[in-house]
């Protein structure tokens, strides 16, 4: 049991003091030392909202990690090959597999409205700084089927959870406007602040791009890479203009329910839940265009 609980230790928890330190450093760099006109900086209400969303998310994720570990352990027993964590290449396979699964999940979270309802939380800030990285959803449940693939491939369950945390820790550091572009070779392989600023842009040319977590090569391979040009406009395409935590966390679920109540058939119900964000029945789109 002690070994089981030890595997639940989340590296993200140990990184929290580092996160807070870098938020403090960035606040000083932006608001005390000065910044370019293109940098928005921090807003007390926005930062408070991001911090509180992140604090609750830590608790939710701690409980969900237990569920994930149990499910992964059961699936790991069914794996045709069980990889040994003492082999260095097991860690390489875990990291590459984790990154590919993250890319698939992240892309699906932008293209399937039910998943987007949770993921939009992270995009709801109109600011882009280290505190934005802490604005996390309270509904991580749809991660389970994606990461279960790794357990079936023979990756030890605790390694899968470790990989998830490594990814989250890395991604914290790409949420800043204070870093421009890094060396070309690094920008080509890895996710960087420049690439991720594009991902958070609500501009038409930046939508649904740069899904990578640690690596950007998946976006280059699968046609979703967009380089940073003009400064992005951050936030949602329709911003919610509230700092109410429940509205930030769950407003899109409410929108789905309202659309379902007005749906005329199962095709429309399916589209409102599983279609891309903003999906509307063909007749409705035609009417909107005519107006």
Write the pLDDT tens digit of every residue in 182-223: 999 999 999 999 999 999 999 999 999 999 999 999 999 999
* Distance, C-alpha 233 to centroid of its chain: 18
What pLDDT is attached to residue 36? Answer: 61
Kindly state the helix (H) or strand (E) to which residue 1 belongs, with its residue range: none
Long-range Cβ contacts of 58-64 (<8 Å, 24+ apart): 58/12, 58/13, 58/16, 60/138, 60/139, 60/140, 61/10, 61/12, 61/136, 61/140, 62/8, 62/10, 64/140, 64/141
What does the alpha-carbon distance between residue 170 and residue 196 come to, in Å, rounded to a whole number? 12
What pLDDT is attached to residue 21? Answer: 96
Rg (CA), the chain: 20
The set of residues, in sequence order, having a beta carbon less than 8 Å from that of 46 and lying 6+ positions away, is 125, 126, 127, 131, 243
What pLDDT is attached to residue 283? Answer: 64
What does the alpha-carbon distance between residue 219 and residue 190 come to, in Å, rounded to a whole number? 10
What pLDDT is attached to residue 37? Answer: 58
Per-residue pLDDT of the chain (291 residues; tens, 9 = 90+): 444 444 556 778 788 899 999 999 999 988 776 656 567 789 999 999 999 999 999 999 989 999 999 999 999 999 999 999 999 999 999 999 999 999 999 999 999 999 999 999 999 999 999 999 999 999 999 999 999 999 999 999 999 999 999 999 999 999 999 899 999 999 999 999 999 999 999 999 999 999 999 999 999 999 999 999 999 999 999 999 999 999 999 999 999 999 999 999 999 999 999 999 999 998 665 434 333
What does the alpha-carbon distance between residue 127 and residue 124 come to, in Å, rounded to a whole number? 9
């Amino acid at each position: 049991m002690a070994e089981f609980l030890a595997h639940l230790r989340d590296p993200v928890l140990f990184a929290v003091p580092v996160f807070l330190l870098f938020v403090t450093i960035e606040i000083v760099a932006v608001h005390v030392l000065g910044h370019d006109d293109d940098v928005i900086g921090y807003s007390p209400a926005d930062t408070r909202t991001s911090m509180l969303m992140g604090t609750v998310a830590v608790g939710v994720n701690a409980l969900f990690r237990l569920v994930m570990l149990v499910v992964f352990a059961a699936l790991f027993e069914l794996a045709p090959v069980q990889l040994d964590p003492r082999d260095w290449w097991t860690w390489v396979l875990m990291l590459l597999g984790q990154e590919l699964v993250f890319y698939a999940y992240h892309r699906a979270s932008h293209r399937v409205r039910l998943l987007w309802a949770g993921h939009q939380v992270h995009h709801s800030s109109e600011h882009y700084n280290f505190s934005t990285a802490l604005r996390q959803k309270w509904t991580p449940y749809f991660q389970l089927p994606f990461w279960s693939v790794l357990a079936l491939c023979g990756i030890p369950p605790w390694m899968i959870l470790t990989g998830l945390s490594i990814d989250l820790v890395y991604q914290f550091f790409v949420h800043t406007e204070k870093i421009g572009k890094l060396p070309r070779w690094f920008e080509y392989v890895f996710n960087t602040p420049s690439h991720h600023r594009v991902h958070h842009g609500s501009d038409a040319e930046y939508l649904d791009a740069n899904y990578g977590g640690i690596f950007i090569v998946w976006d280059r391979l699968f046609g979703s890479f967009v380089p940073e040009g003009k400064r992005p406009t951050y936030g949602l395409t329709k911003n919610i203009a509230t700092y109410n935590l429940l509205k930030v966390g769950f407003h899109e679920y409410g929108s789905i329910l309202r659309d379902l109540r007005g749906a005329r058939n199962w095709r429309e119900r399916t589209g409102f839940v599983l279609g891309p964000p903003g999906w509307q029945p063909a007749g409705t789109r035609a009417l909107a265009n005519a107006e």
